[in-house]
Structure 1
Amino acid sequence: MSDARGSEFCPRCGDPVPERDEPLPGEPRDRDRVLCDACYFEDFELVDAPERVEVLVCASCGAIRRGNRWIDVGARDYTDVAVEEVSESLGVHVKAEDVRWGVEPEQVDPTTIRMHCTFSGVVRGIPVEEAFTVPVRISRGTCERCGRIAGGSYAATVQVRGVDRVPDPAEQREAVEIAESMVASREADGDREAFITEITDQPEGKDVKLSTNKLGKAVATRITEQLGGSYSEAPTLVTEDRDGNEVYRVTFAVRLPKFRPGDVIDPDDGDGPVLVRSVRGNLKGVRLRTGERYEAEFEEGETPDAEKVGEAAEAAETTVVTVEDENAVQVLDPETYEAVTVPNPDFYGGDETVRSLKTDAGLFVLPEDETEE
């Protein structure tokens, strides 16, 4: 209402209401703008706060339940979780300006935290303050992911094996590290479906059980990319889902190459033994007799028809007696200490001592870095 001179009065108490700027065209008209400040602030609440907050935390991984989802927060200090949950549950009045706030937690017991909250702002040009306490109840449960892990749920098995050999401990360890790093990377990206259910030792190598077939395929691919070899897939029907779709478990059988970097093999082609340097794709190495580069034929891949005759790890340091010519050098036999003439390969740089390996085909000098491609 207004008087004859156009002044407005509060419809609740009848007191005059100061003139206020009209809303811009198209903006909604605030129905409370006709109230005086005293009546307006009688019902005004600066902050809309819940009476209490319930937080469900997974006791295994620390994830928290929000709605129908579990969110990874790595909760170990529940006070931080309580502060975040209360902060997200508060609503500040849209008319408040220059809002400032603070939260002070009070640990009542291991599962109860009182959050003492203070807010201040400016409404209608008048400073307002509000203080309240929100109790937070922490309860523990088990998220779906941890429940599946505890129940032994898995969809894929990556079997780490070797061709005509058992993968050595270093290879098995690296294969497991590859699986663990890939799972950790997916977890960091928020993928809660990625996990390792179990890692077991078998007489032939390692078995890694993984949560999804997609993850199993990715791990098998990465292992063969880094360690060489190949893998095959063998699906097994285990059940049907609620929609009638068939559900398979897939075994990814990784076969690491027969030879590995550091092995010395004899291709039996008359050109002498080869130090293996790489088994990614075709086997690659260096001839110990000449220092020339060796690469297996395409169809042979990383497993050419050859016999292993030694390992670089078995090499012993020996003294060079003399360089006879560009094709021969004399060294001391590391077992008999007699001067022996051996081939002078291109990679020999004239050092006084060299690493040498004794094989059935004779004694050979090895390069300093046997795994360099």
Structure 2
Amino acid sequence: MVSEPMNSTICPKCGNGTPRLFQGRCKSCFLENFTLAEIAPVLHAKICSTCGARNIRNRWVNEGNLESIIIQTAEDALLVHEMAGDIEIYIEPRAQTPYIYKVHIEVDAMVLDEIFHQSLDTEIRVVRESCDMCSRISGGYFEAIMQIRASKRIPSQEEMAECITIANGVLERLRNKGDRLAFISSSLDIKEGVDLYVGSSNAARHICREINSQLGGTFTESASLQGRKEGKNVYRITFSLRLPEFMPHDIIEHKGRVIEIRKFGKSVTGTDVETGARFTGTFDELDGATLLANRKDLGTTMLVAIENDDLLVLDPDTYETVTIRKPVMFNAEAGTEIPVVRTEKGLLAVADPSR
């Protein structure tokens, strides 16, 4: 009789010796009924009929297009044996109707130093319903009001369109991070600007900061008590956003200087029209400045002659020949029309930055 090695164990199923047991059996017996992967024959994918978000355990998330959601639904429901390693999964969805997908799955994995392969099939049924965000939007839900205005002027349609574009970009980024209240439920255009009704005060605050960062200006916020819910006070926040008094390419007169505004952000940048020097300041430093014109609205006059650092031009009001200072970076020829602006110092030529 041949005795088993000291470290050998008897398999209770086949009676053979084995160095170790796998779930109470030797390796050969364990592998006889081994199932690498399992999946339910029918699955359901809940998808918002409006925005396409997917419901996962009562939580709505954005997961891309319908095919991506079908693949993710199958992958989430697939059960792979806990002993499997180096797992590779291939999922192929095939649409039968807009609401039914047949899904074929191939699984490869390493188990007990052996490569296993298994094919599976399931059916995924698409259930369309309205998500929490779209339900709130359709119901006109909002927690904050954004009042977009401009200081001492009426904002242009172009500015309002740019503000809306910025707002939509901010909301998309917040939604991608999981904020389901990052939406505009409605808007109201008025003469002085636009009011946006935003799903959350957090989203509205992010929009205000981004608009100020790109276009300049300031904003304030105030809260008003709307009632109580579940024993807690419910507030609605009003954000008063003010765009700057001046716009890019406005030409202003400020403390004896004529400045063309170039860009707004956390500060104001511009160019001295006479000297070409760079101007940088704060919004408060422009308090009391006078708007002369925007570059696109500048009048023109005839350039008669150029004499060293002087220009001889026709005064557009009196048609008399007058001598004015040639600005830095000025590039034009006698006999052509040049843009000019009237200041406290008199007529001033404006250099064309494109030349």
TM-score under structure 1 length normalisation? 0.77
Give the secondary-structure state (helix, strand or coil) at the position aligned to 1:218: helix
RMSD of Structure 2 on Structure 1 (CA): 3.6
Q: Which residue of 1 aligns with 2:54?
A: 64
1:363 to 340, 347, 350: 347
Distance (Å, rounded) in 2 between the aligned partners of 1:261 and 1:127: 67
Letter in structure 2 aligned against 1:367: A
Q: Any idea what SS the aligned residue of 2:24 has?
A: helix
Q: Name which one, 1 or 2, has greater alpha-carbon Rg.
A: 1
Q: Is the Cα contact below 8 Å between 1:354 and 1:365 reproduced in 2?
A: no
- Unmatched tracts of structure 1, length 5 or more: 23-28
Matched ranges for 1:119-138 at <5 A: 119=107, 130-138=118-126
Whole-Å Cα distance in 1 between the matches of residues 257 and 285 of structure 2?
20
Q: Which runs of 5+ in 2 are unaligned?
A: none
Counterpart position of 1:160: 148
CA distances 1:168-209 after superposition (whole Å, capped 9, x unpaired): 112112211221111122223343332222233111112222
Structure 1 residues 289 and 87 mapped into 2: Cα distance closer, same or farther (>3 Å)? Answer: closer
CA distance in 2: counterparts of 1:286 and 1:202, whole angstroms: 34
Residues 332-353 of structure 1: per-residue CA shift (max 9 Å, x gap): 45678x5622421442535325
**Equivalent runs, 1:186-197 vs 2, <5 Å:** 186-197=174-185
How much has 1:48 moved relative to structure 2?
A: 2.7
Mapping 1:1-373, distance limit 5 Å: 5-6=3-4, 11-12=12-13, 15-17=14-16, 19-22=17-20, 30-34=22-26, 37=28, 40-41=30-31, 43-77=33-67, 80-96=68-84, 102-119=90-107, 130-242=118-230, 244-267=231-254, 271=256, 274-277=259-262, 288=273, 300-304=284-288, 306-316=289-299, 318-324=301-307, 326=309, 328-333=310-315, 338=319, 340-349=321-330, 351-352=332-333, 353=336, 355-359=338-342, 362-369=346-353
Q: What is the aligned-residue identity percentage?
A: 26
- For 1:342 and 1:87, locate their aligned partners in 2 and report how far apart those are by CA, in whole Å: 79
Q: TM-score, normalised by structure 2?
A: 0.81
Secondary structure of 1:113's partner?
A: strand
The Cα of 1:147 is off from its aligned counterpart by 1.3
8 Å Cα contact 1:275-1:285 kept in structure 2? yes
- Match of 1:55, SS state, is strand
With over 3 angstroms needed to count, the CA separation of the structure-2 counterparts of 1:340 and 1:115, relative to structure 1, is same
Higher normalized strand content (fraction of residues): 2
Q: Provide closer, same or farther for how the CA distance between residues 99 and 206 of structure 1 changes in structure 2, counting only shifts above 3 A.
A: closer
User: Cα gap change, 1:159/1:351 in structure 2, threshold over 3 Å: closer, same or farther?
Assistant: same
Whichever residue aligns with residue 139 of structure 1, its letter is V
Aligned to 1:177, the other structure's residue is in SS state: helix
Rounded to whole Å, the distance in 2 between the matches of 1:247 and 1:108 is: 48
Q: How many residue pairs get matched? A: 348
